[in-house]
Amino acid sequence: MAKVNISPNRTTDKTIRTIDRKREQERRKMFQRAKDNAPEFAAKLVQRLIDREIIDTTSVSAMREAFENQLNKLGYIEEFELQMKIAPVRTIAQDPNVVSLYFTQYIVEDLIEHPAINDIFGDDLEIYRAVDSVFRVLRQ
């Protein structure tokens, strides 16, 4: 009987593909849950950011609407666009939540230009922690 030669590279590649597939499935589920519960998450996120004095806004409802729109768009973002968006904050946490990373970067980069925003306070890590405290439930 012939012995099957198992290449370490082939085994490693197979393991990597399996891990990538699992992460992709987890990410799709998180995006779907975020989209399904967009109004609740948007309200919680705005409240958390105001409570922790990270954002100073003139209109809470405008902030809630902006976050809700982003949550609804989350499932339709192309992989490249998502990776480019989260690249500056990718190393901020040990095992980061991709939704939290996306919203952290959205707040730092895009939300600052929203007409209802007076100012954004805190560094990237503080913002990530506040955002992740809301979106942590998506990983369960």
Q: Which two tokens stand for residue 110?
A: 């895009």
**How many CA atoms lie within 13 Å of 124's alpha carbon, on the beta-carbon side?**
14
Report pLDDT digits (tens) over 37-50: 999 999 999 999 99
Higher pLDDT, 19 or 39: 39
Report pLDDT digits (tens) over 111-128: 999 999 999 999 999 999
99 CB-near residues (< 8 Å, 6+ apart): 30, 31, 34, 74, 135, 138
Q: How high is the pLDDT of residue 1?
A: 47
pTM: 0.84
